[in-house]
Every structure is written in C-alpha cells, then in structure tokens.
C-alpha cells in the first residue's frame, strides 16, 4: 500500500500538524512515512501545504506532482492542486470560503464542513482533526488506536489532556463527511 | 535498543550530535537550517544531557572560528548553516583545513547566488567539493538523501574528520533538512573526558605537558619551501582519503541501459523516475554518490563501459556533471538536467528530460 | 663584553641578576627594537610563571605583528584568522573551563576587522583575558592607518594625516567595551617606562586572577609605540606617544570589579 497525500490551506489551520499526526500514525503501524512541508514566509498567514506519504515500501521522492488524495482548505489551494489529483483519486475540501467549486469529473469529491462543525462544538482548535476524521472515513489507512498513539507522539506532553477532544473531533469528521461526486 | 522517531532532517542532525558525544555546537540562524540550533537550545544538553556546549554566535564568521577554537583544543565540535552563511565560513574552513583540525560542518543548501531564495538547491557543489576558501585544500563531503542519513552522517562525518584531521561537511539541502521521516537513533555515547581528549589528540591545545613542548595550532609558515612541503603532506592525505573513503549507492543498475547520477534530494526524485521509466519499459538505474569528495569516479567509469548514456540530475546549472564527464571520458553521452533558484523538478520532468536529451537524440 | 659569558667564574647562580622568564622560549623575537611587544610578552610570561599556570594556559594570537607570539610564549597556542581570536577563545574556554585562556591582539585586528567578535565576546562575559596592543597603526603590513590612528597622524594610507571628515574618528575600543555588562575588568596601560611596566604587569595579574575566580571578560589595553611604523627612533616614539597618544588614550583603570571607575 502506498498513499500519496497533499494537505493544503492557510497557515494556522493546522495543515502541517495534521500531516504530522498522520505520519506518526503510519510509523505506529510499521509503515514508511515522509512529511515534506512548503516552508518559509508563506507559512506565516499565507498558504501552507505538506506532502505526506505512507507506504509499506521504501519511499522514493518526498516531492510529487500527482496525488492519491488532496485535502484542501482554501480557494488558492483548490486552484493550485485540483489538477494534481490522480484520475480516480480523492479530493476532500471544506466548502467554507470556497467560491469556485471543483470541476473535475474523473475524481471522487468529498466535502466536510469542518470550520462550521468546529465552531458549533466550540472547539475551534480541533478543526484539523475533523478534516482528518473525514479523510479516514474515506480512506481508513490508519487504525484509530494508531491515531491516538500518533497524537501522543506528536503533541507535547502538556497538551496530552486535549487528546480525548481530538479523538472526538476525528469521529465527528467521520460522521459528517459527504460524498459530493463520484468519479 | 535503537529508538524510532519522526523527525525533520535538521532535528535529526541536532539529536545525533548530542548522542554521538559532540562537545560543542556553535551556530547562527538562517533558513532552512535554523531547526538545528533551535532543537539544541530546547534540549539544553549543557544542563540536562551530556554537558555539550551550545552557543548562538554573533555571525557565521564567529561560528566557524569558535569551531576552529574548539577543534584546536581537541574537542568534537560542529556548526551548521545554509548557503549564504556557508559562504561566510569559507575563511574559517580554509584555516581549519590548513591547521589540520577535525570538525563537522553542515550546509543545508538554498538557492543562490547572493541572498537568493530560501528554497532547496544544490548549487554549492563546486564550493563544497573543490575547496571553497583560499588555498589548495579539500573537505570530506557527505551527501545525505534521507533523514536517517542526516542522523547517521553526523557520527560518520566526525569520525572521518578525526581519522584524517580534516574538516568534514554534510552537504544537504532544504528538502532533506525540512522533511520528516522515520529515523532510528543511535544510543547515547559518553563524551570524552579531558584526559581521553589529551590522549586521543596529542597535537591539541590541552595545556603544555611535562613530556612535550608547547603545542601550536597554525596554518602559517612564512618559509615557502616549508609551506610547499606542508602542501605536499596535505595532498598525500587527500590521496589517502580518495583511496579509502569513496562511498556510493547503486539502485537498479544491474540491467540498466541508462543511468541517472544524482545526490541528496535529487537522488530521491530519480528513484521515483526509475519507477516511472520502468513502467514504460525504459531501463533506468541510479548511481548516487554518497561522498561527493572523494567522488566515485571509478564506479561511474565502469558503468560507462556498458550503458548507453548518463543523465546527471542536480538542483543547479550543471556542476557535478563535470566530475561525471571526467569519469566517463567521452565514452557515452552525458547530459544534464537541473532546475535552479529553489525549484524542484517533479519525477515526470526527469523522465521527460531523459527522453528528449538522451533517448530522442539517438 | 661577550667574552664574559664564557667565563665560568662569572656565570654562577649567585651572580645572576636578570634572566629570561621560563615561560618565554629561546627563540629570537622578530619585533623591531623599541617595540612594546617584547616587553608585553615578557610580563605576560612572568604573570603566567608566577601564578604557576603555564600548563593550564591556552593563548590565541591572530594576524598582526604578534601572529608569531606562539614562537615566543611557551604555552599551548593557536594562531587565528584576522580579528577572530575572541571567537576561538570563546570556544576554548567554554569547552575547557578549567584552563586559563587569553587573546593577544593588535588594534587593526581587535578594533577593525574583529570588532564584532570583540564586542560580542565581551558582551557575553566570556571568562577570558583580552590583551589589546594599541599602537595606532598597522605594523605588520607596513604602517597603514588603523582604527586607532590619531587625527592628523600620518600613515601609508593617510599620507597627509588622518582627515576625520573623510576617514572617520579614532576608535576608543576600551571605553566602548567598558560599557558592556559582560566585562568585569577594563584598563588601559603602557610599557614605556619601568614604572608603567610594573603597573601593566599588575593589571595582567589582576586579569588572570579574575579569570581564576570565574569573573567576566577582562580587557587590558596596552598603548604602545611603533617606532618603525611611525618613522621615529625608539626614544622619539616613546616621547611622541606620551605627548600625543596618552592625552587621547588616557591611562588607568576604567572598570574594576564590574563597576565603572571613570
């Protein structure tokens, strides 16, 4: 199994940490992983993206131009990465702030109203975990117990009390994900 | 038991430095390698772990000269920087090489020239492998292609540096420095005591001893004939390094018709290009130099006797290709493909370059 | 006179009134006759000898007339790139906290190309002794203008005298570092008379004692003549120094026990 993912949005949406939790979860189930961020000034308030690869084999290039899954959290990223989803692949996005919806017909498109759900539940910080839950519903590539282990490894100890809320958010995302278009 | 972690390449370097018993790190912030100093400052090894000194210097010039001072006293010391900062260090590198001192330097390259960009590049190949500062000298250059190698080459680099009393350089780039991968960390080694240092480095400034005269660390000799003898001694050392320390990796070369030659992050891109090519029936292989100095001329020369062409893939305008040409000696076609200024090509682009530059041309 | 050296009846310990300090080597110094370096070396060597720290002292001398100091001082020493001695000394001291570490730098080195290293080593309070020989000129390279060259003073690169409006002002580095919190002892001395030599030796002793006690950076400037660079005889040079250098570079302690005294 090899899953090649791009996660893209604004800096501050938890794009990089979502990728990190996914990567750590992969390690917990003995997979090879790579996490390659865009870095530099663009991280501070501009767009941020990270390429995450989980594989049962040695990972070659950490940088890709075609992805199995694109997880998209703002319009700029949708414009940039819609074309990079492999035919038959997955595009998951939060419609919040999206003015031009994706138009491709050869990919599976899902939506998750994560910003809205996070605001409703009063836990804005778990926004990215709702998105992660939505992704894992579509592609259950990591076990739930490994997500928990991944959270423990990637969060500093002082934030470990947040783990139950984060796991709740993952489950919320799994419930709320909507299939918008089948390839 | 080795420990498994998910780390950035830069963080792996820092952690590996603590674990290998490094005595001191002296550095200055610059993107994309600042995580090395940040990680060390967060770990506080001087308080909480091995007693290793960590200091943020006032400049890269000061950093490399702190390394010079530490190395002169026989301690295991290192610094890290990125391209513009590494340029500032060249004076110090030359002095350290001239004084025959061991140390480890890391350059996490970004695009240039000048201030350039903060994005990944491999445009410091010439500077790294051909000297860099003034005078005839060489630095042992290791090119990691994974986070694991970032960690492993800290120990290897410092070992080679002490073996030959010569600076060793890890030539990395923004991709390998910033990416996270699984890394197996070595066990913690104890730092050497002052007595062990004095025994290991009888040449070092450890305080004059009753059994020896005072030790002098210098790169100066006003007498040209003595300076030439010293240069000859350095050259003999480099020949020894060239004989003993060439390292490289071959991937899918056994049946290959064409060979990509690439180091560091470019080699990772080429691995994907191999998969893409082979899916189309094009037999591509990869030779990845792990030591850029000494360069693996012999294995490339050997491949040149049976393959149809080489594609040298670098994040620069064509630097390592000159060494490849020296090895191939015109036997078969050698072409270059590179992107510059911080742009990283996709594996597809590499395949396309192979097709147009080598396959299409025949 | 030289035949007396071969007369064993005279070469007896009880007749010894003066000898080389054992922390100096037998090498013949290359310094010009009349230069202050030889005296400064000697009193530094005496301090190291008298404190019994020869085997625990590491020195750093960068580019300048004193780059070959390692040939004369019988302690472990490194030669450094121009201006970088405080950086080397920082690392040597931090990695070998039980050793006594000093730098020995000229004015061009310390106050021009090495300003950054000097200021920051002082500001961090590195527990080292910085010995600063100020003769207002680049001696080694043949008498060019230094950051400490006085207004109107002639050198190879200001042959009509230092014009402040074009070349800027002479730099009082010692006053400057005295205002940094990291310095513990800052003083300006000279070595042109027996009395001044004794005072400078006492200052050096104090600086090394402070290092022994783990105090901050100690900075000892020695105003010196460069008779060959100044194109004077040694006696003229000393007189010129007293009349011109000392009014601008005032002698005496500037900071003692971490407190400004001037």
- C116-128 per-position pLDDT tens digit: 999 999 999 999 9
Structure token digits, residue B347: 């594996």
Distance from the B109 Cα atom to the nearest Cα atom in chain C, whole angstroms: 25
Chain A interface includes B179 (CB < 8 A): yes
Name the closest residue on chain B to residue A26, using Cα atoms: B182
Contact B180 A34 (CB under 8 A): yes
Using a CB-CB cut-off of 8 Å, the residues of chain A touching B7 are: none
Whether B216 is in a domain gets the answer no
Contact C76 B65 (CB under 8 A): no
**What total of structural domains would you count in chain A?**
1
| Cα–Cα distance, B5 to A165 (Å, whole number) | 25
Which is nearest to A91 in space by CA: A99, A100, A82? A82
pLDDT above 80: residue A72: yes
Chain A interface includes B119 (CB < 8 A): yes
Where is pLDDT greater, at A55 or A121?
A55
- If pLDDT is split at 50, 70 and 90, which confidence band does A12 have? confident
Q: Of B176, B196, B216, which residue is a domain's last?
A: B196
Chain A interface includes B271 (CB < 8 A): yes
What mean pLDDT comes out for the span A151-178? 92
Bridge partners of B205, per DSSP, are: none
Q: Which DSSP symbol is given to B212?
A: S
Give the global pTM.
0.94
- If pLDDT is split at 50, 70 and 90, which confidence band does C1 have? very low
What mean pLDDT comes out for the span C24-50? 95
N- to C-terminal Cα separation, chain B: 53
- If pLDDT is split at 50, 70 and 90, which confidence band does C54 have? very high
Predicted confidence at residue B103, as pLDDT, reads: 98
The tens place of each residue's pLDDT in chain B, 362 residues long, gives: 567 899 999 999 999 999 999 999 999 999 999 999 999 999 999 999 999 999 999 999 999 999 999 999 999 999 999 999 999 999 999 999 999 999 999 999 999 999 999 999 999 999 999 999 999 999 999 999 999 999 999 999 999 999 999 999 999 999 999 999 999 999 999 999 999 999 999 999 999 998 899 999 999 999 999 999 999 999 999 999 999 999 999 999 999 999 999 999 999 999 999 999 999 999 999 999 999 999 999 999 999 999 999 999 999 999 999 999 999 999 999 999 999 999 999 999 999 999 999 998 54
The set of residues, in sequence order, having a beta carbon less than 8 Å from that of B130 and lying 6+ positions away, is none
Predicted confidence at residue A46, as pLDDT, reads: 72
- If pLDDT is split at 50, 70 and 90, which confidence band does C13 have? confident
Q: Which of A32, A59, A65 sits opposite B348 (nearest CB)?
A: A65
Structure token digits, residue C18: 């003066």
Q: Among A142-151, B236-245, C205-214, which is the least confidently predicted range?
A: A142-151
Whether B288 is in a domain gets the answer yes
- Same domain (yes/no): B135, B265: no
Which is nearest to B178 in space by CA: B112, B110, B230, B270? B110
Interface test with C, best of B56, B193, B205, B230 (most C CBs within 10 A): B205
- Residues shown for chain C: 262
- The residue behind tokens 């290359």 is C30
Predicted confidence at residue C15, as pLDDT, reads: 87
Chain C interface includes B209 (CB < 8 A): yes
- Same domain (yes/no): B185, B85: yes
What mean pLDDT comes out for the span A72-78? 95
What mean pLDDT comes out for the span C58-81? 96
Angle between helices A114-121 and A127-138 (to 10 degrees): 130
Predicted confidence at residue A11, as pLDDT, reads: 83
pLDDT digit string (tens) for C139-169? 989 899 999 999 999 999 999 999 999 999 9
Whether B178 is in a domain gets the answer yes
Whether B331 is in a domain gets the answer yes
Using a CB-CB cut-off of 8 Å, the residues of chain A touching B285 are: none
Using a CB-CB cut-off of 8 Å, the residues of chain C touching B206 are: 76, 96
| Cα–Cα distance, B46 to B35 (Å, whole number) | 18
Q: Which of A32, A63, A65 sits opposite B175 (nearest CB)?
A: A63
Distance from the A177 Cα atom to the nearest Cα atom in chain B, whole angstroms: 29
Q: Which of B6, B175, B348 sits opposite A36 (nearest CB)?
A: B175
Using a CB-CB cut-off of 8 Å, the residues of chain C touching B209 are: 55
Contact B217 C79 (CB under 8 A): yes
Name the closest residue on chain B to residue C24, using Cα atoms: B214
Main-chain dihedrals φ then ψ at residue C60, nearest 5 degrees: -130, 120
What mean pLDDT comes out for the span C75-104? 98
Q: Half-sphere exposure of residue B347, counting CA atoms within 13 Å on the CB side?
A: 21
Chain C interface includes B136 (CB < 8 A): no
Whether B141 is in a domain gets the answer yes
CATH number, domain of B76, equals 3.40.50.970
Distance from the B119 Cα atom to the nearest Cα atom in chain A, whole angstroms: 8
- Same domain (yes/no): B152, B262: no
Contact B180 A35 (CB under 8 A): yes
Whether B287 is in a domain gets the answer yes
**What total of structural domains would you count in chain B?**
2
- What mean pLDDT, rounded, does chain A reach? 93
What mean pLDDT comes out for the span C105-123? 97
Using a CB-CB cut-off of 8 Å, the residues of chain A touching B278 are: none
Predicted confidence at residue A45, as pLDDT, reads: 59
Neighbours of chain B (3+ CB pairs under 8 A): A, C
Contact C91 B207 (CB under 8 A): no
Interface test with B, best of A42, A63, A83, A142 (most B CBs within 10 A): A63
Contact B215 C80 (CB under 8 A): no
Whether B340 is in a domain gets the answer yes
Please name the residue ranges forming H helices in B245-305.
Answer: 264-279, 297-304
Q: Of B175, B196, B217, which residue is a domain's last?
A: B196
Give the range of the structural domain holding residue A70, as residue numbers without chain letter: 2-181
CATH number, domain of A98, equals 3.40.920.10
Name the closest residue on chain B to residue A19, using Cα atoms: B180
Q: Which DSSP symbol is given to B355?
A: I
DSSP per-residue letters across B27-71: E---TTSTHHHHHHHHH-HHHHSS--EEEE-SSHHHHHHHHHHHH
Give the range of the structural domain holding residue B332, as residue numbers without chain letter: 249-359
Interface of C with B in 34-73 (CB under 8 A): 54-58, 60, 67-68, 70-71, 73
pLDDT digit string (tens) for A124-133? 889 999 999 9
pLDDT above 80: residue C26: yes
Name the closest residue on chain A to residue B31, using Cα atoms: A40
CATH number, domain of B289, equals 3.40.50.920
- Same domain (yes/no): B182, B269: no
What are the structural domains, with CATH classification, of chain C? 2-260 (3.40.50.970)
Sign of CA dihedral B227, B232, B236, B242: positive
Whether B175 is in a domain gets the answer yes
Contact A62 B347 (CB under 8 A): no
Sign of CA dihedral B244, B248, B249, B255: negative
Contact B180 A40 (CB under 8 A): no
- What mean pLDDT, rounded, does chain C reach? 95
- Same domain (yes/no): B176, B50: yes
- Same domain (yes/no): B46, B130: yes
């Amino acid at each position: 199994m090899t899953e090649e993912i791009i996660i893209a949005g604004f800096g501050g949406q938890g794009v990089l940490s979502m990728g990190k939790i996914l990567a750590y979860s992969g390690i917990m189930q003995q997979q090879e992983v790579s996490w390659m961020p865009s870095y530099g000034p663009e991280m501070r308030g501009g767009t941020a993206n990270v390429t995450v690869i989980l594989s049962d084999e040695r990972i070659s290039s950490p940088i890709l131009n075609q992805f199995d899954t694109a997880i998209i959290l703002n319009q700029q990223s949708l414009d940039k990465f819609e074309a990079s989803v492999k035919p038959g692949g997955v595009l998951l996005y939060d419609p919040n702030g999206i003015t031009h919806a994706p138009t491709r017909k050869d990919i599976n498109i899902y939506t998750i109203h994560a910003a809205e759900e996070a605001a409703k539940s009063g836990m804005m910080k778990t926004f990215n975990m709702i998105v992660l839950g939505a992704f894992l519903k579509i592609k259950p590539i990591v076990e739930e117990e490994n997500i928990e282990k991944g959270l423990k490894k990637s969060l500093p100890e002082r934030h470990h009390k947040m783990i139950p809320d984060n796991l709740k958010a993952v489950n919320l995302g799994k419930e709320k994900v909507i299939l918008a278009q089948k390839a | 038991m080795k420990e498994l972690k998910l780390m950035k390449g830069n963080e792996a370097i820092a952690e590996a430095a603590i674990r290998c018993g490094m005595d001191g790190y002296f550095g200055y912030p610059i993107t994309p390698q600042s995580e090395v100093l940040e990680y060390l400052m967060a770990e506080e090894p001087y308080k909480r772990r091995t007693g290793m000194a960590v200091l943020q210097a006032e400049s890269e010039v000061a950093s490399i000269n702190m390394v010079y001072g530490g190395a002169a006293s026989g301690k295991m010391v290192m610094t890290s920087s990125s391209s513009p900062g590494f340029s500032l260090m060249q004076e110090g590198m030359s002095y350290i090489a001239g004084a025959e001192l061991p140390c480890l330097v890391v350059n996490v390259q970004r695009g240039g020239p000048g201030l350039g960009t903060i994005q990944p590049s491999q445009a410091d190949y010439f500077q790294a492998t051909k000297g860099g500062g003034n005078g005839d000298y060489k630095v042992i250059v290791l090119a990691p292609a994974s986070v694991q190698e970032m960690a492993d080459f800290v120990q290897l680099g410092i070992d080679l540096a002490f073996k030959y009393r010569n600076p060793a350089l890890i030539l990395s780039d923004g991709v390998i420095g910033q990416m996270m991968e699984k890394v197996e960390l070595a066990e913690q080694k104890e730092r050497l005591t002052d007595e062990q240092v004095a025994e290991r480095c009888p040449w070092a400034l450890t305080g004059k001893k009753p059994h020896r005269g005072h030790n002098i660390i210098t790169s100066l000799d006003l007498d040209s004939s003595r300076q030439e003898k010293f240069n000859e001694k350095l050259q003999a050392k480099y020949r020894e390094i060239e004989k003993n320390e060439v390292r490289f990796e071959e991937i899918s070369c056994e049946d290959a018709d064409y060979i990509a030659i690439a180091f560091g992050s470019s080699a990772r891109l080429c691995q994907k290009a191999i998969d893409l090519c082979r899916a189309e029936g094009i037999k591509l292989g990869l030779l990845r130099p792990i030591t850029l100095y000494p360069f693996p001329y012999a294995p490339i020369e050997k491949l040149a006797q049976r393959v149809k062409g080489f594609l040298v893939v670098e994040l620069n305008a064509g630097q390592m290709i000159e060494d490849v040409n020296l090895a191939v000696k015109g036997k078969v076609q050698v072409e270059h493909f590179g992107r510059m200024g911080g742009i990283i090509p996709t594996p597809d682009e590499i395949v396309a370059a192979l097709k147009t530059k080598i396959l299409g041309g025949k | 006179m030289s035949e007396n050296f071969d007369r064993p009846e005279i070469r007896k310990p009880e007749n010894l009134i003066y000898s080389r300090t054992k922390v100096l080597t037998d090498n013949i110094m290359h310094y010009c006759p009349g230069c202050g370096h030889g005296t400064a070396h000697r009193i530094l060597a005496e301090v190291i000898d008298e404190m019994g720290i020869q085997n625990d002292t590491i020195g750093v001398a960068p580019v300048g007339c004193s780059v070959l100091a390692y040939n004369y001082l019988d302690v472990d020493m490194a030669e450094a790139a121009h201006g970088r001695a405080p950086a080397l000394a920082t690392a040597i001291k931090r990695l070998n906290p039980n050793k006594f570490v000093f730098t020995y730098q000229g004015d061009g080195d310390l106050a021009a190309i090495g300003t950054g290293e000097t200021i920051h080593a002082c500001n961090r309070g590195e527990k080292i002794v910085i010995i600063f020989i100020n003769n207002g000129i680049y001696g080694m390279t043949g008498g060019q203008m230094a950051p400490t060259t006085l207004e109107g003073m002639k050198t190879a690169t200001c042959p009509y005298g230092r014009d402040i409006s074009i070349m800027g002002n002479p730099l009082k580095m010692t006053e400057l570092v005295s205002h940094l919190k990291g310095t513990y002892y800052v003083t300006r001395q000279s070595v042109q008379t027996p009395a001044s030599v004794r005072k400078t030796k006492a200052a050096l002793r104090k600086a090394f004692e402070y290092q022994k006690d783990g105090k901050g950076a100690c900075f000892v400037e020695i105003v010196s003549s460069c008779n060959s660079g100044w194109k004077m005889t040694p006696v003229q040079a000393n007189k010129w120094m007293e009349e011109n250098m000392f009014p601008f570079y005032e002698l005496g302690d500037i900071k003692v026990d971490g407190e400004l005294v001037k």
